[in-house]
Amino acid sequence: GYVESILSGLWTAWRTASELLERPLPAPPATTLLGALLHVHLFAATASRFSPMNVNFGLRPPLVDPPRGRGGRQKRKEALVERALADLDAWLETHTG
């Protein structure tokens, strides 16, 4: 619950600041944990009947070409993290500052 609470507070602060500054702030990419949580809680068709849950890798969109074979599970998680960090960096560069 701590990570989810921190992310919710961070998003609320960013949205409040964007409204006060009259600057649009689209949701972060769904490939990031914050974006995935927002998508599931606010934007998905099932959001109205969603029950809170902890952050997990299954919330994010799957990889197009996931690693397979020995150590595949760990490699998939690492690939999800790398994709999320790259997408978050691009989003932050575009929408903050």
* pLDDT digits 0-9 by tens, 16-25: 999 999 988 8
Residue 13: its pLDDT value, please?
92
Residue 35: its pLDDT value, please?
86
Contact 63, 80 (CB under 8 A): yes
Structure-token pair, residue 84: 């999320």
Residue 16: its pLDDT value, please?
93
pTM over 0.85: no
Rg of the chain's alpha carbons, rounded to an integer?
Answer: 15
Q: How far apart are CA 81 and CA 63, in angstroms?
A: 11
Q: Which residue has tokens 């609470």?
A: 5
Low-confidence ranges of the chain (pLDDT < 50): none
